[in-house]
Amino acid sequence: MNGGKQIPSLRKRYLRGSLADLRRSRSAAAAIEFAFIMPVFLIMFVGVVDLGMMLVEDYRLDQAVAAGAEFAAVNASSVNSTNGATLASNIATAVESANGNAWANDTVVVNDGPSVTVSNGTPTSGGTASNANNCYCPTGSPPNWNWGSSMTCGASCSGGGTAGKFVTITATASYTPLLGLYNFINSGTLRQSSVVETQ
């Protein structure tokens, strides 16, 4: 009889031990799965952070160009041979100071005349001042604008629109990703550009 009573007791102990082993094995399996999944998750997470940082930098560049375009629109009367060089310099300063010094490079051209190119915080002036008195029908795409020949102000352009006075602004900034090794986001140059018709 005593032997019969011990059998259920042994079964209970065996079952309890088996359940504990099962719990331990599940914990071990979960730890192993976590160890495999975590590096992949971290790489994906850093890739998403990289993408977000690149989009923020592109947005900052866009806002800087928009600030320069607004300055050009407000000072439209300065698009001439006398004030064009000062206007180009002021627009370049507005773009540069939008997010700190030397954070981006930019080129401002006032009506195929006076221009300022800023590279690593250093401005360089150029262009022919007298061109700023003419009217043009600019074509092309950033940063390769084609001004063409000067035209009578208000004349119809072959591609549509009318000849007028314009300011072009192109800004670039380099972006280096956190995890360039994995090629989620490649290193490269972000570019934003604007053409403002001032007359």
Q: Token pair for residue 158?
A: 């072959």
Q: Which is nearest to 190 in space by CA: 49, 50, 61, 53?
A: 61
Does position 17 have pLDDT exceeding 60, yes or no? Answer: no
- Decide: 196 and 88 in contact? Cβ < 8 Å: no
16 in a domain, yes or no? Answer: no
Asked if the structure places residue 3 within a domain, the reply is no
pLDDT bin (cut points 50, 70, 90) of residue 104 is confident
- Structure-token pair, residue 85: 């060089």
Residue 93 lies in a domain: yes
Residue 88 lies in a domain: yes
> What mean pLDDT comes out for the span 40-67?
86
Q: 188 versus 1: which is more confidently predicted?
A: 188
- CB-CB contact of 177 with 187 (8 Å): yes
> Higher-confidence residue: 143 or 195?
195
Tokens of 161: 């629109």
Question: How far is 127 from 81, CA to CA, in rounded Å?
Answer: 11
In a domain, 167, yes or no: yes
pLDDT of 58 above 80:
yes
Tally of structural domains, the chain: 1
> How would you classify residue 109: left for phi > 0, otherwise alpha for psi between -120 and 50, otherwise beta?
beta
**What confidence tier does 169 reach under pLDDT thresholds 50, 70, 90?**
very high
Residue 32 lies in a domain: no
Over the stretch 43-53, which tens digit does the pLDDT of each residue have? 788 888 888 88
The verdict on residue 145 lying in a domain is yes
pLDDT band at 21 (very low <50, low <70, confident <90, very high): low
Provide the residue range defining the domain that includes 160.
37-197
Q: At what angle do helices 84-97 and 2-74 cross, to 10 degrees?
A: 170
Q: CB–CB of 168/138 below 8 Å?
A: yes
DSSP the chain: -HHHHHHHHHHHHHHHHHHHHHHHHHHHHHHHHHHHHHHHHHHHHHHHHHHHHHHHHHHHHHHHHHHHHHHHHHTGGG-STTTHHHHHHHHHHHHHHTSSTTSSEEEEEETTS-EEEEETTEEEEES-GGGGGSBB--EEETTEEE--S-B-TTPBPTTSSB-B-EEEEEEEEEE--TTGGGTSS--EEEEEEEEEE--
